[in-house]
Amino acid sequence: MGNTVKRIAVFCSGGDAPGMNAAIRAVVRIGNYHDLHVYGIYNGYDGLIKGDITRLEKGDVANIIHKGGTVLKTARCAEFMTKEGRQKAYNTLMANDIDAIIAIGGNGTFTGASIFYSEHKFPVIGIPGTIDNDIFGTDYTIGFDTAVNTAIDSVDKIRDTADSHNRLFFIEVMGRDSGYIALYTGLGSGASGIMIPESTIDVDVLVKELEKMVIKKKLFGLVIVAEGNENGNAQEIADLIAKRFSDYETKVAVIGHLQRGGSPTAMDRVLATRMGHGAVEGLLAGQKNVMCGIHNNEVVFVPLKDAIKKIKPIDDSLLSLPAKLS
């Protein structure tokens, strides 16, 4: 492609993540720096199909770097999962003389982008925007740091009640298929236990750890549970423990969608800015059908098929830390 790229479009798809606006801002302003025409597509793939697209100038992205969510909105789109829907999307791009697109989102977003490229050979670069941090090829995804800090802030408040009443709290955080939020929240909040989808912890093991806490006269505790934990959600685990272990009064707290909202942290703002910059530079250099990530503090380009299919492993040694530290 090289210098044939003159008009690019950017959109968000899937779940929102704090920092998406910082990425949009970077794409627009770096594009303007290179004298590109930059367009925003509203409501993700649905907007791409329906032609909900507008030109974005530098002023249009002023005062958004600190805002959560996405000014371009986001939506699920069943129609894009059909070949006919993707043809409509391609027609929209052709009608607006768009040369390349930048898709901000997670696994589902990248899957759609990869299929779209295979059918139409239309240049696309993905930017990983998801609080789950489960995308292969990048150390961190946009929104993860903010989500963890939001969760830790909530856990810190719950700790006050747990300590005051000598209670054992099971706190559920997001992570249907990924335990990164639970792992980092647990380590960052000093939790007694962490339960995630990637590593099944038997309830018997948790009971033994709680027994040790009683011996140490530690009469309150915090257990962080990812919503996709194979043993069950926070309520189900709490019910099991209540039947097996009577020394604690168990309580449950579900943090929920609070984790997706709020002003992005400095880390997420910088990460998103670097990725937005990298995506535009990558398109100008001829990159396509790839994700722009950050690995070892360097901008990298990873084939979308790898970002989608390869598993991002969790360091098992980190899971053993709560028991050692408590």
Mean pLDDT over 121-149 rounds to 98
User: Do residues 22 and 136 both lie within one domain?
Assistant: yes
The answer to whether residue 324 sits within a structural domain is: no
User: What pLDDT sits at residue 78?
Assistant: 94
DSSP-based three-state secondary structure for 181: helix
Mean pLDDT over 12-27 rounds to 97
Q: Which two tokens stand for residue 227?
A: 């919503």
User: What residues are annotated to the active site?
Assistant: 132
CATH number, domain at 79?
Answer: 3.40.50.450
Number of structural domains found in the chain: 2
Mean pLDDT over 251-264 rounds to 95
- Residues paired with residue 222 on neighbouring β-strands, in sequence order: 169
User: Do residues 102 and 62 both lie within one domain?
Assistant: yes
Cα-based distances in Å from 156 to 116, 159, 191: 44, 5, 10
The answer to whether residue 323 sits within a structural domain is: no
Mean pLDDT over 172-198 rounds to 93
**pLDDT tens digits along 291-326:** 999 999 999 999 999 999 999 999 888 888 887 776
User: Do residues 303 and 157 both lie within one domain?
Assistant: no
The answer to whether residue 321 sits within a structural domain is: no
Domain interval for residue 286 = 2-143+264-309
CATH number, domain at 172?
Answer: 3.40.50.460
User: Do residues 6 and 130 both lie within one domain?
Assistant: yes
| Whole-model pTM over 0.85 | yes
